Amino acid sequence: MATKTAEPPAHSRVPNGPTLLRNYIGGRFVDGGRPFDVVDPATGRVHAIAHEADQAIVDAAVAAARKAVEGEWGRMTLAKRRAMLNAVADGIERRFDDFLEAEIADTGKPHELAHHLDIPRGAANFRVFADAIANLSTETFEMDTPDGGKALNYAVRKPLGVVGVISPWNLPLLLMTWKVAPALACGNAVIVKPSEETPSSTTLLGEVMSEVGMPDGVFNVIHGFGPESAGEMLTSHPGVRAITFTGETRTGAAIMRSAAPSVKALSFELGGKNPAIVFADADMDAALAGLSRAVFLNTGQVCLAPERIYVERPVFDAFVAGMKVRAEAMKPGLPHDAGVNFGPLISAEHRDKVLGYYRSAVEDGATVVTGGGVPDLAGEAAGGFFVQPTLWTGLAHDARVCREEIFGPCAAIIPFDGEEEAVRMANDTEYGLASSIWTTNLSRAHRVGKAMEVGISWVNCWFLRDLRTPFGGAKMSGVGREGGEHSINFYSEPTNICIKL
């Protein structure tokens, strides 16, 4: 495939200073308007400066994307388009270390987590949807006509056109490519607005797109914020046909309002207040291993993490004691330091929010099993946005920390006395993203798994994903489903062709 060079590069380095992150429009990197700082959460220091996109840049991105859909990209055969997606995956893997450092600098997450999860999944998403688009059929029906003849109806998939992708800060590369890959597989062009907290890996992907010869305008990146900035400009732009977003429920509602006048297609994966249920017959070691990972992975900054754990009373004390041991074994620190498995929160603002919930739990009568504050760290990590892994007991089911999404490394552990009570409490929330059930009773596993009012219900596991399956939330946790055919159906629209025979 042809290789082209984008000028100037995305990651130019100011001597002894931060990386400069530019907008990527029509296959070229361009300066924006007001620059803004990107902070390393592990140290609190500025590590990059991003260029905020203004209305002219957003307009240029939409024009470039539309030109790509109407031009070379739109005319490209499916086989060549699939080859391009696999080339992007190869490009991510070829520059694995660059993506790893970009992701770590933006998020502060431990090296091992980003190395084994974020970057491999970023590449895998392109391969998964390159395969998915080749293996889906469309409808075909033969019908009788009123005059006694026959007609053949068949559907063809067509791209939507220009798709706006607004990606979150907790798993920046993974969740961005989870949307970009199927959108491109269907023949759309995309404009990505990464979180202002984590713009580096998305910008770096622009370099890879140029390196593998992706046609100009197929992939575009605009930097900025939400209201009155790049985010709102993208969601309200009449030239954008669809918006896909992962993030807070309140932000999703704002995007709905912004997109409504032009009646865009919307796909949202929003907030959660996820329950876990541990029955007395559960494999206790497996439940403790699984749920300690679920609560503390990525410092609790995972939309699927359980913040409410309901434990059957006969095993309640043993479960709490086991979780305490695992929480206190977490080692916070700088991402590359040996043994570190617990990173910072994404920002000082988010740390203050989480600490506010820690105080609220105590005010509502919680017993702090462990944590509840800020770890004592030395050196560069002393400036990072760290909090302690935290567990509570003694809280009523309707306490604030049991109702509102915290998005931090914490959970309330609450006893229950029967299956019906556990299901009732688990479903008593405005959210419905995920649940995790732990039992060795097969009938109960099926029964309770089905009873959960969520998009994904795990049994004796957590975060186990087949990327072909439907993924999304119920209630206020989202609109639509992603994964395999479900993603393809969102990023394409069928046209029925009826031919009288």
12-270+478-500 belongs to which homologous superfamily?
A: Aldehyde Dehydrogenase; Chain A, domain 1 (3.40.605.10)
Marked catalytic residue, from 303, 307, 402, 482: 303
Cβ 32 vs Cβ 51: under 8 Å: yes
What tokens does 212 get? Answer: 């593998």
Whole-number Å distance between alpha carbons of 199 and 222? 9
Average pLDDT over residues 328-344: 97
Q: Are 40 and 59 in contact (CB under 8 A)?
A: no
Judge whether residue 7 has pLDDT over 90.
Answer: no
Let me know if 303 is a catalytic residue: yes
Does residue 402 carry a catalytic annotation? no
CA–CA gap between residue 229 and residue 262 (Å, rounded): 18
What percent of the chain has pLDDT above 70?
97
Mean model confidence pLDDT for the chain: 95
Summarize pLDDT for 41-63 with one digit per residue, the tens: 999 999 999 999 999 999 999 99
Sign of CA dihedral 97, 99, 102, 107: negative
Evaluate whether 432 touches 455 at the Cβ level (below 8 Å). Answer: yes
Structure confidence at residue 33 (pLDDT) = 79
- Band (16; pLDDT cuts 50, 70, 90): low
Write down the CATH superfamily of domain 274-466.
Aldehyde Dehydrogenase; Chain A, domain 2 (3.40.309.10)
Selected catalytic residue, list 52, 101, 232, 269: 269
**Averaged pLDDT, 385-401:** 97
Q: Using pLDDT thresholds of 50, 70 and 90, give the confidence band for residue 32.
A: confident
Q: How far apart are CA 70 and CA 65, in angstroms?
A: 9
**Residue ranges covered by each domain of the chain:** 12-270+478-500, 274-466
Query: pLDDT of 469-478, one tens digit each?
Result: 999 999 999 9
CA-CA-CA-CA dihedral for 257, 258, 263, 269, to nearest 10:
-70
Of 288, 280, 278, 229, which Cα lies nearest the Cα of 258? 229
- Quickly count: other Cβ atoms within 10 Å of residue 400's Cβ: 14
Is the pLDDT confidence value at 185 over 90?
Answer: yes
